[in-house]
Amino acid sequence: MKNFLVKTIANAGALGVAIWLLKDITLTGDNTGRQALTLILVALVFGVVNVVVKPIVKLLAFPLFILTLGLITLVINALMLLLTSWLAGKLDLSFNVDGFGTAVLGGLIVSIVAWALHVVLPDDKD
């Protein structure tokens, strides 16, 4: 349970940084509390997408991993961010990613920040 909470907080922080840095990734809400709640809910959706969908896509794209020496990971991360944006729209969460280029940059930012937060935040292995 602690590991799940840490990953959700790291995803929320990483998504928050991407929203802050890129103008085409938006999170709207009436007030700061509503935006924070929406960000946590979007982080949960992002976590579910990464646990359920991403391994299947990585398995199907394995030949491309070899061919591109792993650079296809940027495209897969962008697709996961776009899927999260689409699911957030279906769940009436005010999170939006405009365009594939923005999703690639956002995916890169989210990956780097989430990795850094996972290093800093404690987990069950400590």
Task: State residue 33's pLDDT score.
Answer: 87
What are the two backbone dihedrals, phi and then psi, of residue 27, each rounded to the nearest 5 degrees?
Answer: -135, 115
pLDDT at 124: 63
Backbone angles phi, psi at 96, to 5 degrees: -145, 135
d(CA 11, CA 47): 7
Q: What is the mean pLDDT of residues 109-120?
A: 88
The two structure tokens encoding residue 117: 């937060």
pLDDT for the residue numbered 125? 60
Residue 78 has pLDDT above 90, yes or no: yes
